[in-house]
Structure 1
């Protein structure tokens, strides 16, 4: 017997190999595996039939979640086979021809899994003839009657073109049906295992159609020695690297634990070659430290930031956002974290870990009374460095909302906005948060001047700033014609600065004819700068021209092409603007719930997820935050 068995093993080694079947090819010979199964089955003892309770008691228990991928390659040794009492399991109710001569059904493995205490769950593998085997999950009531069943694994060696594998959890069954034709196809079927033992189909999707770069992800999974069924496919995400079109960032969440309304995920984050799928750089982190855990607070989205952050002169980092959502109505909760990764040889290094960039939380009575706090953080690179890495500026817009009933029983809402600034500094291995030392510029009213005369210039507003005069207005045309200093491209309302002798020492470019061009002034005791914002408006406001006065020199820094939005147009830009200087960068934030970008032209309405302007390196730029940097 031992000689026969070892000959069979040798045949299998030559023809099939011992590895698990990840990519099947039709030409593979499998006769050796079949001989081993037949030999092993012949040697199983012919015992008396057991009752159902004895079968349950004697069956091995496997922990959940469990990956079920039984196939012909699973049977190498004689002890890979179980004695299965098909009669006690009532397999003839699932396979009516199970006991019929010539159909060659044989149950060859069995184990139980702790899905639910209300019923028993058995997983058994059935070989049908010499070329097919399938594994099924069966739920039984306490008396041994079949409630429901589903196929969880399948293998065939006649053509070697298809296979089924699955992930079994306490309340969920995920089945992958794999087909190798001209290209690989994977159909994912999700079932709910209900408390009464029934197994109901929830969703079906073809993964090769759901992911436009399916082949790339499949190659990465192969390189990581993972199957699709081991992953949380709805959270897989990819992005072509912005600095190299030949590579992509691929994020693979591997399921470690899973149950009713919870899961734990390991994180595999890689940069892979787009053509070959070969992993060039990779990062792994366990669910024990990565915070990829979903329970009462659901992990509902993973996103790759579309832009890179330049953290040194020659190193960039990409960002990964992870979003969480709480389903409580009385205690609503949302959170979004940012992690940053950079290349290091063939690895990736995590230089910022799970930093909260957005949080919304509160409590209310589901009627009216409630309090809510929302935080939206803007992430901007600084021009200053710590340990040879650029600091990261954090501008946090905080909105506090109070809802209450007035004396008439009507529900009212009050909103309060404020801004907090921090800086992330590199400590040699990772970025950590520090106080920003931000300089706040507050609006003030300089001395107004009346009756100031400037040749051919209509003065609408004039102010005394130390030794200088600031005037806003426009040059008068002559006989309806534009004359110098106006030109066809430089005319209308503008800002002038005059010295003590009333000589014009600065003239801004004209903005055209506006209903309003009014200077607003901002200063801080901690700075020598004076910031001037000229509010512009027709019948509606359309942003502000920004200037800096420092050391006797006035210069334009650009246009704040933004306005707060409210239906009554009660607030203009200068009513809600907060200006801070952080590490030499000027940050312009709006304390409002919604904003209009490019007012008067495109009028793009956006929820204010902390849309800010930043002035650094002599450039004023709009920063639309969170998913963009």
Structure 2
């Protein structure tokens, strides 16, 4: 296995660690994305390349059979915790084909699975903006995040990657959303659940750090559960030549308790993404 392959694998570990996170079309919702766009955005103007103009930004439908391949295209998922509902993520981007960065927002929608009526809606401003650190993938995380009895949240994960080979970087951040009455609200924002970065000479010598985080819901005496964040941190020192390269690793662990306060979970700055 080459060192470049190791870096490529590091891009994927945090993003696909949750077995319940999916962007596949197996539940059939992808075939309804055009109908969803027409119903939710009745004033949308049709554009070339399977796209629409909404509020001065571009909404893109995924290519048939390729939902999830384009991070700037719509995404949907039937919510396993509430199968009568459908989760939809709608990137609204200034120019999704631009190579040197984008400016954009993300509309999060919860729809009635049958009628496509909107049951909850929230726009995350700036979530689709990127530049040298660019978005590579979006996916729903439908692990059973039980905030309280009868109150389950769902997640959205965003993967990003840097463009520098001598200074590789990638991360995955997590948002959690919950329905409160007739509103959809974020209850956890921009928590880094995986990160890899470092610096090397493109041959062997260098230092790298990675972190992977898992979340566990912890019931408390208060109405809302705490979230226990468990870290696994690995520091790797590489020395030698391309032919004989030796790695020395040190692994440490840590835990953090996030408490629900003023409508959301407080994320320490050290655990937050950019």
- TM-score, with length taken from structure 2: 0.74
- 8 Å contact 2:189–2:267 — kept in the other structure? no
| In 2: Cα distance, 1:260 partner to 1:433 partner | 31
Q: Secondary structure at the match of 2:142?
A: coil
Partner of 2:92: 254
Residues 1:324 and 1:375: Cα distance change in structure 2 (over 3 Å): same
Find the partner of 1:240 among 55, 62, 78: 78
- 8 Å contact 1:330–1:365 — kept in the other structure? yes
| In 1: Cα distance, 2:28 partner to 2:130 partner | 27
Q: Secondary structure at the match of 2:220?
A: strand
Partner of 1:315: 151
Deviation at 1:310, TM superposition (A): 0.5
C-alpha offsets along residues 286-306 of structure 1, whole Å, 9 cap, x if unaligned? Answer: 22xx3x222111101111013
> Are residue 364 (structure 1) and residue 200 (structure 2) matched?
yes
Deviation at 1:394, TM superposition (A): 0.6
Q: For 1:431-450, what aligned pairs fall within 5 Å after superposition?
A: 431-433=265-267
- 8 Å contact 1:317–1:340 — kept in the other structure? yes
Residues 1:269 and 1:214: Cα distance change in structure 2 (over 3 Å): same
Partner of 1:231: 59
Q: Secondary structure at the match of 1:367?
A: coil
Deviation at 1:283, TM superposition (A): 1.1
| In 2: Cα distance, 1:277 partner to 1:218 partner | 12
Partner of 1:296: 132
C-alpha offsets along residues 432-471 of structure 1, whole Å, 9 cap, x if unaligned? Answer: 146xxxxxxxxxxxxxxxxxxxxxxxxxxxxxxxxxxxxx
Partner of 2:20: none
Find the partner of 2:35 among 215, 219, 233: 219
- 8 Å contact 2:159–2:172 — kept in the other structure? yes
Partner of 2:239: 404
Partner of 1:475: none
Residues 1:211 and 1:426: Cα distance change in structure 2 (over 3 Å): closer
- TM-score, with length taken from structure 1: 0.33
Q: Secondary structure at the match of 1:218?
A: helix
Partner of 1:283: 122
Residues 1:384 and 1:402: Cα distance change in structure 2 (over 3 Å): same
Partner of 2:173: 337
- 8 Å contact 1:216–1:275 — kept in the other structure? no
| In 2: Cα distance, 1:214 partner to 1:358 partner | 28
Residues 1:211 and 1:379: Cα distance change in structure 2 (over 3 Å): closer
> Are residue 394 (structure 1) and residue 229 (structure 2) matched?
yes
Find the partner of 2:249 among 415, 431, 435: 415
- Which protein has greater RCO, CA pairs closer than 8 Å, 6+ apart? 2
Deviation at 1:211, TM superposition (A): 10
Q: For 1:164-563, what aligned pairs fall within 5 Å after superposition?
A: 212-225=28-41, 226=44, 228-229=51-52, 230-232=58-60, 233=62, 234-235=70-71, 236-258=74-96, 259-287=98-126, 290=127, 292-386=128-222, 388-405=223-240, 410-433=244-267
Deviation at 1:282, TM superposition (A): 1.1
| In 2: Cα distance, 1:286 partner to 1:383 partner | 31
Question: Pairwise CA RMSD of aligned residues?
Answer: 2.4
| In 2: Cα distance, 1:402 partner to 1:345 partner | 51
Q: Secondary structure at the match of 1:221?
A: helix
Deviation at 1:410, TM superposition (A): 3.1
- 8 Å contact 1:216–1:277 — kept in the other structure? no
| In 1: Cα distance, 2:183 partner to 2:236 partner | 44
Q: Secondary structure at the match of 1:262?
A: coil
Residues 1:404 and 1:385: Cα distance change in structure 2 (over 3 Å): farther
- 8 Å contact 1:238–1:251 — kept in the other structure? yes
C-alpha offsets along residues 79-126 of structure 1, whole Å, 9 cap, x if unaligned? Answer: xxxxxxxxxxxxxxxxxxxxxxxxxxxxxxxxxxxxxxxxxxxxxxxx
Residues 1:393 and 1:211: Cα distance change in structure 2 (over 3 Å): closer
- 8 Å contact 1:216–1:274 — kept in the other structure? no
| In 2: Cα distance, 1:412 partner to 1:215 partner | 50
